[in-house]
Copies of this chain bind each other. A is one copy, B any other.
Amino acid sequence: MASDRTKALKGAVRTPRRGSEAPTIADVARAAACSPMTVSRVINGEDSVREETRELVLEAINKLNYTPNRAARSLAGGAQVRIGLLFDNPSASYLAEFLMGALEEAGRRDVHLEVQSCDSTDEAKPMMRKMFESGISGFILPPPLCDDQSVLDLVAELDTVAIAVGPGKADGTHGSVTIDDFQAAYDMTRHIIGLGHKRIGFIIGNPEQVASGRRLGGFCQAMQDAGLDVPDELLVQGRFNYRSGMAAAERLLALDPRPTAIFASNDDMAAATVAVAHRQHLDVPNDISVCGFDDTDLARSIWPELTTIRQPIRAMTAWAVAAIVRALRSKRSAELPKIERAVMPYDLIRRESDAAPALSAPTAKSGLQT
């Protein structure tokens, strides 16, 4: 008898093993009176579905509160898309924004993000190799990695998909998302000039990053267009970090006549400038205006809050993820992988660190002080 039962069970229906009771595509299909395939098509926005049918399906989806199963999707859809994200010593606030944008989009697109941090560009390259070999299908390259020629060469060699977040090379091996650094710096400079400043110091960013040059360029152009002179002494080299900002600010503030405003190429250096100014008992913004760039967390966490340029970092990385997915798709369908480039809008955020220069020309104040 026991064996009879066993035999009977053999042909019988096994216990099904649905993970949860979440609705599946089949449930939706039933509710919409069509095939699962049609539902799939609607979900994926294919255009070969009659409008009528589509609405029926959407209604069913809504009623059942259906969400596609990500795992099944990427399993059936072929390769799982994994995107590598390498960081080389970014400022934390930049990183946070960056990750949020990437994560959000990755969630939406059902892409897996592989995040790695490294300590130098040289370390980054073998890591990229390893990630590529382990099946990473695309990379997002934040600065300064996207500014390093050898990294870009590696991208070309691997023939992988990469998006530079920041100005990339236009050699067609990779896409890029960036803001118009030149124009943004130009606008900020005009804003400062508009306040009445004439002697404006500029702290240059890390020379290894392309954006630094662009920002410098925008500054110089705006000054020139306003008929203002930019003596070399007003251009001081920094490296995008607080430390370098302090050194640069000290040099600028020791100048005679002292500049009435300082435009730093990023917020970290601007924050350092504010600190140095305070140490010298200068009031910001009344004795000296300070402007930054990036609108990272820091810009709002110090006092006075920084007037700065806001980069839509989150939107930029989200775009980068989406662009990689698109590129991968077109690569698989044998079209030549298209390289996309995007230029995002920026904003000039006016806060409390800038003001019109003091009425008494600062020249009066500073006698010989050597």
Contacts and interface: CB of A to CB of B under 8 A. Distances in A.
A115 interface: yes
Given A96-B93, A303-B243, A79 B268 contact: no
Nearest to A90: B96
A104 B117 CA distance: 11
A78 B135 contact: no
A91 interface: yes
Residue from the set A70, A115, A297 with the largest chain B CB neighbour count within 10 Å = A297
Given A71-B74, A100-B117, A241-B301, 17 more contacts: A17-B78, A19-B77, A19-B78, A19-B80, A22-B135, A69-B75, A91-B301, A92-B96, A92-B297, A92-B298, A93-B93, A96-B96, A100-B115, A103-B113, A107-B114, A275-B302, A278-B278
Copies in the complex: 2
Contacts of A117: 100
A97 B93 CA distance: 10
12 contacts: A19-B80, A70-B112, A75-B75, A92-B97, A93-B297, A96-B99, A99-B103, A104-B115, A107-B112, A243-B303, A275-B275, A281-B281
Interface in A220-270: 241-243, 246, 268
Contact of A278 (B79, B115, B275): B275
Contact of A80 (B69, B80, B242, B302): B69
A366 interface: no
A115 B104 CA distance: 7
A78 B21 CA distance: 11
A67 B135 contact: yes
A369 interface: no
Interface of A: 17, 19-20, 22, 67, 69-75, 77-80, 91-93, 95-97, 99-100, 103-104, 107, 112-115, 117, 134-135, 241-243, 246, 268, 275, 278-279, 281, 296-298, 301-303
Contacts of A79: 19-20
A97 B87 CA distance: 12
A264 to B, nearest CB: 14
B69 A301 contact: no
Nearest to A93: B92
* Leading 6 A-B pairs by shortest Cβ distance: A19-B78, A92-B297, A92-B93, A19-B79, A71-B75, A278-B279
Nearest to A243: B303
